[in-house]
Amino acid sequence: MILMGKVRYGLRGRSRGDCVRLWVCEAQGCRASITTIHKEIERMRNEHNHGPVFSKSRFGNPVIEYSGFRYNLHKTSRLPKGLWVCSRVSSGCKAKLVTLLNQIVKAQTEHNHAPVKKRLQ
């Protein structure tokens, strides 16, 4: 199993002597998948049909994982409305989300980078 935020991926298939693996999202009807080679994420198909995942960073700050990208709550946000900026904003990425009562109401999802590759344990 792979756990990315609160999204679980289960092993679907193997090939080439067990080094290439296909993992699929465990949400019913979801088409998202991950292909790994030697425990490294090689390709992600981010076609989730079950929305964003709200969680906390390792420092306890609120984050959203959405379509393979991570967004941090902007410091000037006042709940219940939130402005979320891409975690790579310091690298010039302008992608952002606006939420109201934990529902995305506006999304600017054009990133200047690929989704973050995560090393598996």
DSSP letters along 4-63, please? ETTEEEEEEEEETTTTEEEEEE-STT---EEEEETTEEEEEE---SS--EEEE-TTS-EE
Parent domain of 81: 53-108
State whether 36 and 73 are in the same domain: no
Q: Are residues 23 and 57 in the same domain?
A: no
* 39: confidence class by pLDDT, cuts 50, 70, 90: confident
Contact 82, 98 (CB under 8 A): yes
The more confident residue out of 95 and 75 is 95
2 token code pair: 């792979």
Residue 75 sits in the same domain as residue 31: no
Q: Do 72 and 103 share a domain, yes or no?
A: yes
Does some domain include residue 88? yes
Rounded Cα gap, residues 64 and 97, in angstroms:
9
pLDDT band at 5; cut points 50, 70, 90: low
**Domain-located, residue 114:** no
pLDDT level of residue 43 (50, 70, 90 thresholds): confident
User: What is the pLDDT at residue 121?
Assistant: 41
